[in-house]
Amino acid sequence: MLYAILCYDSEAVTTSMSKQEDDALMGRLAAVQQKLAQRGKLGPVARLMPTKAATTLRKGLEALVVDGPFAETKEQLLGFYIVDCDSRDEAVSVARDLAAAATHGTGAYEIRPLMTFKPGPGVQ
């Protein structure tokens, strides 16, 4: 089963971290990713730009394009992983590993089973 692990946290805080701190954090997360990759369980990984670069298409009789992310919340969707896990428990344990690497104890990982997955022909 494929799961998406969606990473939520405070963008105000992540953009206040020093470059060194951010690099260190990304380094720790990369180590977790590498382990997953070795076991053939890691799909695409993405870090999203800050929400101010986002645009939302609001569906309706006439689809409406609005500035900004889907929802204005205290925590923002910052990135996501696609992982191949045998069970929800295993996906949760991957998220636990990521949380342990991030260590600061805020934010959330939302674990969502994938309905369909089209890896696409590949982007550069």
Applying CB under 8 A, the residues found at the interface with another protein are: 10-19, 21, 24, 49-50, 52-53, 55, 67-68, 74, 103-106
Q: In angstroms, give the least distance from the CB of 53 to another protein.
A: 4
The nearer residue to another protein, 15 or 116, going by C-beta atoms, is 15
Comparing C-alpha atoms, which of 124, 109, 122, 123 is closest to residue 4? Answer: 109
The nearer residue to another protein, 47 or 88, going by C-beta atoms, is 47
In angstroms, the CA 124 to CA 112 distance is: 26
Give alpha helix (H) positions in the chain. 11-14, 19-38, 88-102
The nearer residue to another protein, 103 or 116, going by C-beta atoms, is 103
What distances in angstroms separate CA 89 from CA 1, 3, 50, 94, one per listed residue? 12, 11, 30, 9
Q: In angstroms, give the least distance from the CB of 103 to another protein.
A: 4
Q: Which residues pair with 84 in a beta bridge?
A: 2
The nearer residue to another protein, 71 or 114, going by C-beta atoms, is 71
Q: In angstroms, give the least distance from the CB of 59 to another protein.
A: 20
